[in-house]
Amino acid sequence: MMNLSINGQSRLSDSPPDTPLLWVLREELRMTGTRYGCGLGLCGSCTVHINGQAVRSCQLKVSEVGSAAITTIEGLHPANAHPVQKAWVEIQVPQCGYCQSGQIMQAAALLAQNPNPTEKEIVEGMNGNLCRCATYPRIVGAVKRAAKLMKEKQNA
């Protein structure tokens, strides 16, 4: 049994060590907010945070996680009120919504590292997260808005 730290809680997994983290999250632990997209780490739908860094969970074996802190979309904020989540709703980013949990996790990691990114830095930081509906202008706008919300919260 592996003991995983997911969203601040200890969770046990008896999956084989070479099982992708994505499948442990979705199939064993029933945390379905993290999505399967391509299975090759190319689309970003499966993005989670490992010790605060955005990682493609379809490419990470559960045995490679060790004692690292895993954060999924379910654990980003207990009330879904992370500035990125708020901005996503305010800007009305999703169309079909399938890729959005990965987009949000990538954006949150980007803003944690760079709280005041330029538009170019946002595009570069979100590169590799694909959206079938091509809502990229709204995604960029929401990341800008989230950065502003974070700054307002810090100054309050």
Instruction: Express each pLDDT in 116-130 by its tens digit.
Output: 999 999 999 999 999
Distance between alpha carbon 156 and the CA centroid of its chain, in Å?
Answer: 26
The 3-state secondary structure of 67-93 reads: CCEEECHHHCCCCCCCHHHHHHHHHCC
Same domain, 68 and 93: no
Question: Per the structure, how many domains does the chain have?
Answer: 2
Are 112 and 150 members of one domain? Answer: yes
Closest CA to 68 of 14, 4, 21, 114: 4
Mean pLDDT, residues 19-27: 98
Residues 32 and 95 in one domain: no
Residue finishing a domain among 34, 55, 75: 75
In a 3-state reduction of DSSP, which class is residue 143?
helix
- Does one domain contain both 94 and 61? no
Q: Which amino acid, 7?
A: N
DSSP 81: -
| CA dist list (Å): 77 to 3, 98, 107, 108 | 22, 19, 14, 11
Give 2's contacts (C-beta < 8 A, 6+ positions apart).
Answer: 12, 13, 14, 15, 17, 62, 63, 65
- Using H for helix, E for strand and C for coil, what is the string for 88-105? HHHHCCCCCCCCHHHHHH
**Domain end marker among 40, 75, 110:** 75
Residue 136 has φ and ψ, to the nearest 5°, of -55, -40
Print the domain residue range for 91: 83-155
Q: Do 47 and 108 reside in the same domain of the chain? A: no
CATH of the domain at 60: 3.10.20.30
Among 75, 106, 140, identify where a domain stops. 75
Instruction: CATH number of the domain at 122, please.
Output: 1.10.150.120
Q: Based on the domain organization, do 98 and 121 belong to the same domain?
A: yes
Which residues, in sequence order, are bridge partners of residue 55? 48
How does residue 152 score in pLDDT terms, banded at 50, 70 and 90?
A: very high
Same domain? 115 vs 53: no
* pLDDT tens sequence across 68-127: 999 999 999 989 999 999 999 999 999 999 999 999 999 999 999 999 999 999 999 999
Provide the token pair at 21. 């983290």
- pLDDT confidence of residue 6: 98
> Do 33 and 53 belong to one domain?
yes
Do 55 and 111 lie in a common domain?
no
Shared domain check, 68 and 94: no
Q: Are residues 68 and 98 in the same domain?
A: no
On whether both 46 and 65 belong to a single domain, the answer is yes
Distance of CA 105 to the CA centre of its chain: 2
